[in-house]
Amino acid sequence: MLIDSPSVHSAEDSIERGEYVFRAAGCESCHTDADHDGEFLAGGRAFDTPFGGFYSPNITSDKTHGIGSWTAEEFIRAMREGIGPEGQDYYPVFPYATYTRVSDDDLLAMYAYLQQTPPVAQPNRPHDLPWYMRFRTANWIWKLMFLEPGPFRPDTGRSSTWNRGAYLVTALAHCDECHTPRNSFGALDLTRRMAGAALGGDESAPNISPDTAKGIGNWRQADLVRYLSKGIRPDEEFADGAMAEVIDNGLSHLRVEDLEAMAEYLMSLPAQQNP
């Protein structure tokens, strides 16, 4: 079956599966302030964007400061529609425009996993935004323009491996969120997928389209799988910065078949010459 959903027999199975989905989705890097020894998933990590400074919230099972009192329906609505339990519209710095594609089963498993993480009583830090960005209603307009809510739909003309790779890359692992350039509204420019993009600060994500000159078209599929699981490039250099975190916290925990499926999908995308 496409989304690899063994029927869930016990709460334990679903927590284990939830942890796998959570790793594939790379939630930890954003929701843990690792640079300041922050506690696991307690939030507080800063994001410098052209729209202002954001801080990730606490998503531990703490009932007051985290999401411990949320229902599964509230969690699914946040992930799929970018709407919080009080009806607030989230800023797209929380990549729900990607996570909207995650299947219901995987979201429920992730919810079960998150609900048993250790609670941390750490209050959320308010965002540091210019006045015109403080109105969450603007996010509602952004969503009308750029959010297509709903789970991933497989392309029946492609193999199940390709579709599994497409699901992992476009619903969970959010490679586009860093490697695809954005328009002036901060939405992904899907005509230039994986062409490379500037991140906050002085970091940038390189072109990883299959272009032989600008991208990774000269890498073999096995090179890409090794890089995603171990962070070693074909020239034996190590992955650095944000990518090192993506690998350590997430991709290095995935099954090799899943990394192979992702590599197959990525290698099938159009080559992009310009970052």
Among positions 243, 260, 261, 272, the unique one binding ligand HEC when judged by CB under 6 A: 243
- Residue 212, CB-side half-sphere exposure with 13 Å CA sphere: 2
CB of 169 to ligand HEC, least distance (A): 6
**Residue 81 to residue 89: CA distance in whole angstroms:** 9
Greatest alpha-carbon span in the chain = 51
Q: Which residues of 19-35 are buried (b: 16+ CB within 10 A; e: fewer)?
A: bbbbbbbbbbbbbbbee
Is residue 178 part of the contact set for ligand HEC (CB under 6 A)?
A: yes
Residues 198-227 contacting ligand HEC, CB under 6 A: 199, 203, 205-206, 208, 216, 224, 227
* 58 residue type, one letter: N
Q: How far apart are the first and last CA of the chain?
A: 36
Using CB under 6 A as the binding rule, whether residue 167 contacts ligand HEC is answered as no
Residue 265 binding ligand HEC, by CB under 6 A:
no
Q: Return the residue of 4, 61, 62, 94 that touches ligand HEC, per CB under 6 A.
A: 94
Instruction: Out of 42, 109, 171, 173, name the contact with ligand HEC by CB under 6 A.
Output: 173
Is 3 or 110 the residue whose CB approaches ligand HEC more closely? Answer: 110
* Residue 233 lies near ligand HEC (rule: CB under 6 A): yes
Q: Count Cα neighbours of 244 within 13 Å in the Cβ-side half-sphere.
A: 7
The two tokens of residue 48 are: 């410098």
Binding site for ligand HEC (CB under 6 A): 25-27, 30-31, 47, 54, 56-57, 59, 67, 78, 84, 90-91, 93-95, 99, 110, 169, 173-175, 177-179, 199, 203, 205-206, 208, 216, 224, 227-228, 233, 239-243, 246, 251, 266
